[in-house]
Amino acid sequence: MSFSNTTRAAKPAHRRTGIVFGAAVVCLSMALTGGVLTTSAVAATSTQSDIVLHVGADETMRNFSWYSAADTAQVVQVALAANVVDGAFPGLATSISATGGLTTSGEYNRFATMTDLAENTAYVYRVGSEGDWSNTYSFRTQDFDGAFDFLFFGDPQIGSSKDIPGDTAGWSETLDVATSTYPDAEMLFSAGDQVDSASNEVQYEAFLEPDALREIPFVATNGNHDVGNKAYEQHFNTPNVDASAGAGSDTASGGDYWFIYKDVLFMDINSNSRDNDSHIAWMNQIVAEHGDEAKWKVLAFHHSIYSPAVHATDGDIVDRRAVLPTAISDLGIDVVLQGHDHAYARSYLMHNGVKANEAEEAGADSVIAGPGGVLYVTANSASGSKYYNLQEQGFSYLSASNQEHVRNYSAIEVSDEAFTIKTLRSEAYGDANPVNSVVDQVTLTREVQPDLDSQELQVTVPEAAPGEFVWNIDGTNALLDLGTAIDAGDHYSAVGSINAIRVTDTRAAGPEWSISAQVGDFVSGDKSFSGRFLGWSPSVVETGGDAVAGAAVESGFFAGDGLSASSTLGYAATGHALGSATLDAGLGLAVPVDVTDGTYQATLTLTALS
């Protein structure tokens, strides 16, 4: 049989069968565990093929894609798995009309999107039209926030070995091992090169054979073997795609796209386009618009720039390695997922293209990223269709690398605090390294950044009797201790000083600026009193730049709102001289005598406007 044909006839009804529904209790159990379901109520004609469940724009959405032999109006029907009775697809279902058109292989592709999914819910779905439905498949949502796992796979490249059945078997086995080991994984993430030849639909059919691609949302990355034909963008329904980003030739396929999943911003760029400026501009736009919504930022592209094998010294890779890393660091991206080199590698934390911390040890199982520090990971082959040997010269950017000529996959665990990447063997490497033995593992956390926008205040209110006044001001500490208040007749009194604020303004136009502050309530356990009882007397202790101290604010015990209302520490008017000034302020606290004794703290928040 020749595998070079680019067109296909309609598939016979027996091409994909799935698991037939049995008793109602069995089918419900299957749905809740994400199993594949095939309806026996309406026999599938299988004129629909190449069905894929994709990630949506966020965790409440799923994208669908499939091919059909005829150009007919089609829908995806989605229903609650709990409503399946005796194997029949539920009558209460949501139908979403599909879009699409003629493909380069002479078939018709169909795209649809399901929105407003509920969390922790099992669904069933089918595609087609009345009387011509596909088999029935199932998927389930999980929590819409919090920690989650996903699986990362490198270069299946079905057909690369010239043995399509063998490549398919390896790919299917890796998916089986990974999804059975991590049954709660919420995405299947590919590093690209799904097939060896973009125009070969037999290879695509083999790549899409595993039913896991219809049960767990798939994330497709565009590899160099996926272009030269439009099949990639006709098979894969990627969310928020911008075809103009990194635009290429008329035969280019796909563009740059992004999605947010559980507070993680994922960006996936089509690195087949060498227009790095276009990619960088697109990433800057997406981070500007959506970066604040994410706790982690993940970038994916196929052509690894920190890999260990034959492609590491290719001219196009060297070019990307010279241009992209600084932009990636500047954008605050945390992790970059890559493929292309068919060997496993992870970099040291890299900042603007150089090792971020010279003290980081090779193969460390945990790393802490400072600002701009990025972890780059390159996946080995998930199918075993092709491997590249490591270059003997080694590379200074590599923390760990591995090539054993056995299939790999990576299990990635994401939480608010950590990003763990565990790479495992999906086939044994000798007796000492069985299936699911670990190739490499690293946990990424972030360096804790100090809060420079506030200063903590503390005061101790004594029991209702005269007490000794003790105070201590440490100008280098964030906690300003006003000591123990003293009895002043009708109130308790405490004094102190803020940490001095130094302001430098060298802008040519001398625009106005101001520093203001506002204090919250003083709290001690379940007791509190209003911050309005705190006042201050600002001063300029080191003059310069025409800086002017703000007006004194009296404690609200005597009049007004005290520092519970925003008050100016210092300012300079428009057209002021260039230079620096140091601002300070004495603090005066007057607390009513009926305040319960205790040690109270409040936060003084400083704001700069210019």
What CATH number has the domain bearing residue 300?
3.60.21.10
Q: Is the pLDDT of residue 269 over 70?
A: yes
One domain, residues 190 and 86: no
Q: Is the pLDDT of residue 331 over 90?
A: yes
Classify residue 592 by its DSSP letter: E
Q: How far is CA 226 from the centre of its chain?
A: 24
One domain, residues 368 and 508: no
pLDDT the model gives residue 28: 26
Task: Give the three-class secondary structure for 291.
Answer: helix
Mean pLDDT of 168-173: 98
Mean pLDDT of 522-537: 93
Residue 28, in any domain of the structure: no
The neighbouring-strand residues paired with 137 are 125
Residue 294, in any domain of the structure: yes
pLDDT the model gives residue 327: 97
Mean pLDDT of 13-29: 28
One domain, residues 333 and 219: yes
Q: Tell me the range of 248-262, 309-323, 590-604 where mean pLDDT is highest.
A: 309-323
d(CA 605, CA 480): 13
One domain, residues 177 and 212: yes
| 255-275 as b/e: b if 16+ CB within 10 A | bbbbbbbbbbbbbbbbbbbee
483-493 residue pLDDT tens: 899 988 899 99
- What CATH number should be reported for the domain holding residue 116? 2.60.40.380
**Could you tell me what percent of the chain has a pLDDT over 90?**
76
d(CA 88, CA 123): 14
pLDDT the model gives residue 250: 59
Residue with tokens 């934390």: 349
Could you tell me if 409 and 425 are in contact, meaning their C-beta atoms sit under 8 angstroms apart? no
Task: Give the three-class secondary structure for 576.
Answer: coil
Dmax (CA) for the chain in angstroms is: 102
Check residue 254 and give left, alpha or beta (phi > 0: left; psi -120 to 50: alpha): left
- Domain limit, last residue, from 122, 144, 166: 144
One domain, residues 599 and 508: yes
One domain, residues 174 and 242: yes
Residue 37, in any domain of the structure: no
One domain, residues 107 and 155: no
Mean pLDDT of 168-195: 98
Q: Is the pLDDT of residue 18 over 50?
A: no
One domain, residues 138 and 270: no
Measured over the CA atoms of residue 162, residue 163, residue 168 and residue 171, the dihedral's sign is negative
pLDDT the model gives residue 8: 43
pLDDT the model gives residue 246: 60
Nearest to 602 by CA among 536, 523, 497: 523
pLDDT the model gives residue 461: 65
pLDDT the model gives residue 192: 95
For β-strands 296-303 and 335-339, DSSP reports them as parallel
Number of domains in the chain: 3
- Domain limit, last residue, from 124, 144, 164: 144
d(CA 71, CA 9): 13
For β-strands 408-414 and 398-402, DSSP reports them as unpaired
The sheet carrying 188-190 orders its strands as 99-102, 108-114, 62-68, 48-55, 218-219, 188-190, 148-153, 408-414, 419-425, 438-446, 366-369
Residue 13, in any domain of the structure: no
Q: How far is CA 527 from the centre of its chain?
A: 41
d(CA 502, CA 518): 18
Residue with tokens 């949501």: 94
Residue 185, in any domain of the structure: yes
Residue with tokens 């001690």: 524
Pick the more confident residue, 14 or 294.
Answer: 294
pLDDT the model gives residue 30: 27
Residue 455, in any domain of the structure: no
Mean pLDDT of 300-310: 97
Q: Is the pLDDT of residue 467 over 50?
A: no
Phi–psi pair at 502, nearest 5 degrees: -105, 130
Residue with tokens 């009882």: 533
Cα dihedral 328/333/339/344 (nearest 10): 110
Phi–psi pair at 351, nearest 5 degrees: -125, 115
Angle in degrees, 0-180, between the axes of helices 315-330 and 276-290, rounded to the nearest 10? 20
Mean pLDDT of 582-593: 92
d(CA 470, CA 493): 12
d(CA 205, CA 16): 11
- What CATH number should be reported for the domain holding residue 516? 2.60.40
Residue 460, in any domain of the structure: no
361-391 residue pLDDT tens: 999 999 999 999 999 999 999 999 999 999 9
**Which residue range forms the structural domain that includes residue 415?**
145-446
pLDDT the model gives residue 466: 47
Could you tell me if 45 and 11 are in contact, meaning their C-beta atoms sit under 8 angstroms apart? no
Q: Write out the H or E segment, with its range, that includes residue 317.
A: helix 315-330
34-84 residue pLDDT tens: 333 333 333 334 589 999 999 999 999 999 999 999 999 999 999 999 999
Instruction: Give 228-260 as a 3 state SS string.
Output: CCCHHHHHCCCCCCECCCCCCCCCCCCCEEEEE
394-438 residue pLDDT tens: 899 999 999 999 999 999 999 999 999 999 999 999 999 999 999
Q: Tell me the range of 6-15, 133-142, 592-601 where mean pLDDT is highest.
A: 133-142
One domain, residues 97 and 120: yes
Pick the more confident residue, 577 or 298.
Answer: 298
Mean pLDDT of 462-489: 61
pLDDT the model gives residue 170: 98
Residue 582, in any domain of the structure: yes
pLDDT the model gives residue 5: 34
237-255 residue pLDDT tens: 999 999 887 655 555 788 8
Q: Which two tokens stand for residue 374?
A: 């990025």
One domain, residues 62 and 125: yes
d(CA 563, CA 550): 12
One domain, residues 171 and 272: yes
Mean pLDDT of the chain: 88
Pick the more confident residue, 175 or 468.
Answer: 175
Could you tell me if 320 and 299 are in contact, meaning their C-beta atoms sit under 8 angstroms apart? no
Intra-chain end-to-end CA distance of the chain, in Å: 73
504-508: long-range pairs with CB below 8 Å, 24+: 504/545, 504/579, 504/580, 505/545, 505/572, 505/576, 505/578, 505/579, 505/580, 505/610, 506/578, 506/579, 507/578, 508/578
- Domain limit, last residue, from 84, 109, 144: 144
Lowest mean pLDDT among 1-10, 349-358, 502-511, 524-533: 1-10
The neighbouring-strand residues paired with 207 are none
One domain, residues 473 and 527: yes
| C-alpha pair distances (Å), 385 with each of 30, 101, 177, 380 | 32, 32, 17, 11
